Amino acid sequence: MTSDNPKTLTAAETWIFDLDNTLYPAKTDLFSQVDVRIRDFIADFLDMEKDAAYKLQKEYFREYGTTMRGLMTNYGLDPKKFLSYVHDIDVTPVAPSPELGEALTKLPGRKIIYTNASTAHAERVMDRLGVSAHFSGVFDIMDAEYTPKPQPGPYKTLVERFGIDPSKTVMVEDIAKNLQPAAAMGMTTIWVRTDTVWGQADQEADYVHHAIDDLADWLGMLVS
């Protein structure tokens, strides 16, 4: 990790934020609902017991980056049906965050969401947080042609679509390995610490420039 003064980050022209477990704390545990719905979708889609479906779910997540990609590759899944089903969840566990909204108001530069989820899910979460107005765009898994992070191709598409100068961009993520392509392009990277095994993998890599515990608190201090 770098020893740079984080205050220099406010000179960035663009901020790219992951969505889940980044804009809101991971302890919210919103993903547990998605996790169950992925398992149930697989059980119905492949006509298998839920325990076997859950095992396959995790195998595909590790191998393909998302379970959805594994199902597309091996079973010709219609990704739109999958995304609609698994994101049909209750987002009320996400608490409105006036603190995050205030910090984003003060933070210079464009703000963009880059998520492995859908735009519809992103919009629901941002609305719940009360921060939708602060973001100029969402780049979702469909924009990425269903190729999940950290595959580098979608990062390049994101940069081209939004006219981003990577050398003047900050990317914030809760999964450390997803920061590798961003750093390779010249972005400054911020890892939001997490207790998850997949989030912590590669946390000591040199492409993780800064590590923080809570986005709203950290941004609040950054812009104070």
1 falls within a domain: no
Strands of 13-160 (E only): list them.
14-17, 110-114, 137-139
In a shared domain, residues 123 and 166: yes
Average pLDDT, the chain: 93
185 falls within a domain: yes
In a shared domain, residues 126 and 189: yes
Give the long-range contacts of residues 133-136, CB within 8 A, separation 24 or more. 134/101, 134/104, 134/105, 135/17, 135/111, 136/110, 136/111, 136/112
In a shared domain, residues 127 and 81: no
In a shared domain, residues 121 and 51: no
pLDDT for res 65: 85
pLDDT for res 194: 84
CATH of residue 77? 1.10.150.450
> Rounded to an integer, what distance in angstroms lies between the CA atom of residue 34 and that of residue 71?
16
Residue ranges of the chain whose pLDDT lies below 50: 3
138 falls within a domain: yes
Helix (H) or strand (E) holding 33: helix 31-45
Q: How far is CA 2 from CA 28, 82, 116, 204, 208, in A?
A: 29, 40, 27, 11, 8
pLDDT for res 195: 77
In a shared domain, residues 202 and 138: yes
48 falls within a domain: yes
In a shared domain, residues 51 and 154: no
Q: Which two tokens stand for residue 43?
A: 């059980």
189 falls within a domain: yes
> Rounded to an integer, what distance in angstroms lies between the CA atom of residue 6 and that of residue 118?
31
Please give the angle made by the CA atoms of 107, 112 and 114, to the nearest 5 degrees: 135
In a shared domain, residues 141 and 113: yes
pLDDT for res 200: 62
For the chain, what is the domain count?
2
In a shared domain, residues 68 and 99: no
Q: Which two tokens stand for residue 72?
A: 């597309």
pLDDT for res 8: 82
Please give the angle made by the CA atoms of 143, 219 and 188, to the nearest 5 degrees: 55
209 falls within a domain: yes
Q: Which two tokens stand for residue 183?
A: 């750093």
CATH of residue 172? 3.40.50.1000
The residue among 86, 103, 128 that closes a domain is 86
pLDDT for res 3: 44
> Rounded to an integer, what distance in angstroms lies between the CA atom of residue 54 and that of residue 41?
10
81 falls within a domain: yes
- Closest Cα partner for 135 from 52, 18, 34, 224? 18
In a shared domain, residues 44 and 117: no
In a shared domain, residues 80 and 136: no
51 falls within a domain: yes
Q: How far is CA 9 from CA 107, 169, 173, 218, 222, in A?
A: 10, 9, 15, 12, 8
In a shared domain, residues 136 and 185: yes
What's the domain range around 37?
31-86
In a shared domain, residues 148 and 43: no
Distance of CA 77 to the CA centre of its chain: 22
